[in-house]
Amino acid sequence: MILGLIVLAISLMGWELTLSSGRTASATKVSAVDTSSLRATSKALTGYGVANTAGVVATFGGAAFHGDQTTGLSGSVVAITATPDAKGYWLVTTTGEVLGYGDALSYGSAKDTSASSPIVSMAATHDGKGYWLVSSSGQVLAFGDAVPYDSTPDPTLSGSVVAITATPDAKGYWLVTTTGEVLGYGDAVSYGSAKDTSASSPIVSMAATRDGKGYWLVSSSGQVLTFGDAVSYPGMTGQTVTGSIVNMAVTSDGDGYILVAADGSIFAFGDASSNWLSG
């Protein structure tokens, strides 16, 4: 079985989904994907990398391969995050173990602290000299030059936290839960949440606009909710989704995004041209 993919879009160039079992591009559909660990964030550089829950990393476009970890992991890999110059990346596991490759230095891990629940997501600081890890209960752990705006789980959270998204200047971050509740810390302003609207299914991912004055939330059914200055693009109407949507990634100019389905299908909207999806 192909293990779950974690997608890190580190480029506007060549949006492709790949089989995590190898380092060659595939068609736009992948079968037997473990959806429990699929994550996506966006960076605008020269390529992108993907990793699976076992720690296998594959890179495409102009992104360099710096290594991976397929043995000795404590927990499943849940995130891959590029450094600002895309000359390295981190892998993080459910236990909070952080592995750095290329110029991605390890500044510590949740294994050295006390995470209240499994780690689910990671976000890097603006200069790449630090990062935040967040657990499903909302506990945020800061390392390196990452500012600890809040590290205590909020007992009033509705649903489990599924993602942490840094603001463009990394002087703050948002947390989002399965119910679509959005919490802002530092300079991250809350522009609304799916709790205030009508999400068709659990929220699975979040992405911020280029200026940080808005964000998108996406549900497992492919419903995209916009807040602040986030622009709404045509939805999933008329398109066949054979698996639940599990993630989204926004293009560097914020004028489009892709949605990733559980079966590996990718749906492009706005300026996320379908041409980018070809191998």
Domain with residue 99: its CATH number is 2.130.10.10
Q: How far out from the chain centre does Cα 33 lie?
A: 16
In 74-229, alpha helices (H):
none
What mean pLDDT value characterizes the chain? Answer: 74
> Position of tokens 């360099």?
64
* 138: helix, strand or coil: coil
CB within 8 Å of 5: residues ≥ 6 apart: 17, 18, 20, 30, 33, 37, 38, 50, 51, 52, 264
Comparison of pLDDT for 178 and 257, the residue scoring more? 178
pLDDT of residue 2: 32
Alpha carbon distance 212, 170 (integer Å): 10
pLDDT of residue 84: 81
Whether residue 214 has pLDDT greater than 50 = yes
Q: How does pLDDT run across 218-261, given as a tens digit for each residue? A: 888 888 899 999 998 865 555 666 678 877 777 767 787 877 76
Alpha carbon distance 268, 57 (integer Å): 23
pLDDT of residue 186: 93
Read off the pLDDT of each residue in 263-274 and give the average, rounded to a whole number: 66
Residue 62: pLDDT band (50, 70, 90) is low
Contact 67, 75 (CB under 8 A): no
Whether residue 30 has pLDDT greater than 70 = no
DSSP 222-244: --EEEEETPPP---STT---SS-
Expressed as residue numbers, the domain containing 134 is 5-277
pLDDT of residue 78: 82
CB within 8 Å of 253: residues ≥ 6 apart: 12, 44, 210, 271
Read off the pLDDT of each residue in 195-200 and give the average, rounded to a whole number: 72
φ/ψ (deg, to 5) at 196: -90, -5
Q: How many domains does the chain have?
A: 1
Whether residue 12 has pLDDT greater than 50 = no
Whether residue 96 has pLDDT greater than 90 = yes
Hey, what amino acid is at 175?
L
pLDDT of residue 105: 95
pLDDT of residue 188: 95
Q: How does pLDDT run across 245-254, given as a tens digit for each residue? A: 877 777 767 7
Comparison of pLDDT for 138 and 51, the residue scoring more? 138
Q: How does pLDDT run across 97-152, given as a tens digit for each residue? A: 999 999 999 999 987 677 778 998 889 998 999 999 999 999 999 999 999 887 67
pLDDT of residue 265: 65
